[in-house]
Structure 1
Amino acid sequence: MNENYQSKRFRRSGTDRYLAGVCGGIAEFLKVDSNLVRLVLVVLTFFGFSGVFVYILAWLVMPAANEQRSMLEQIIRNFQGKPSEN
């Protein structure tokens, strides 16, 4: 694949992470500081926005930096009885 295509995909960060690397991955995609993304998530959570739910959903949908498939896709493949290849 083209290197520009790979760099423009949402992926969880492998290096800039506290929990699952979701905020770090979003920050890398948007080319902003990851602490800014974390701050926005916390502020939205305090104002009634379900930041925890969004974070968990993003964790399931976004593949890790070194993987091809997301956790949700691997769970679905396992449920269907298909091998969960990377």
Structure 2
Amino acid sequence: MSDGTGSKVLVRSREGRMVAGVCAGAAEYLGIDVTLVRVIVAVVSVITGGAGVLAYLAAWVIIPEEGEKTSIADNTVAQKQDASAGR
């Protein structure tokens, strides 16, 4: 996906997703096949004893979904700031 200025933006894809769209979004951003990205994530997860799964979960929280401006993490921080400002 591009941001309107011609530069690419990493987002979680809505098409081709299996879980959260992280692999599909990364594949689209890098211009490679999504299956290759999924295999790399699986191999890294097995070799590192689960660190690949943690990286996937972190990416799920940090990378915004396609069509959204903010990520799950941004939304959570904003909600906490709004709640603390309302005290």
Alignment partner of 1:69: what SS?
coil
Aligned residues: 80
- Structure 1 residues 2-81: aligned runs within 5 Å: 2-5=4-7, 8-48=8-48, 50-81=51-82
Unaligned runs of 5+ in 1: none
TM-score with structure 1 length normalisation? 0.86
User: In 1, Cα distance between the equivalents of 2:25 and 2:9?
Assistant: 9
Q: Is the radius of gyration larger for structure 1 or structure 2? A: 2
In the TM superposition, what is the alpha-carbon distance from 1:66 to its structure 2 partner?
A: 1.0
Moved over 6 A (4+): none
Instruction: Output the aligned Cα RMSD.
Output: 1.4
| Distance in 2 separating the partners of 1:4 and 1:12 | 18
Superposed displacement of residue 4, structure 1? 1.6
Normalising by structure 2, report the TM-score.
0.86
SS in structure 1 opposite 2:6?
helix
- Alignment gaps of 5+ in structure 2: none
What's the offset of the Cα at 1:2? 2.5
Percentage of identical aligned residues? 32
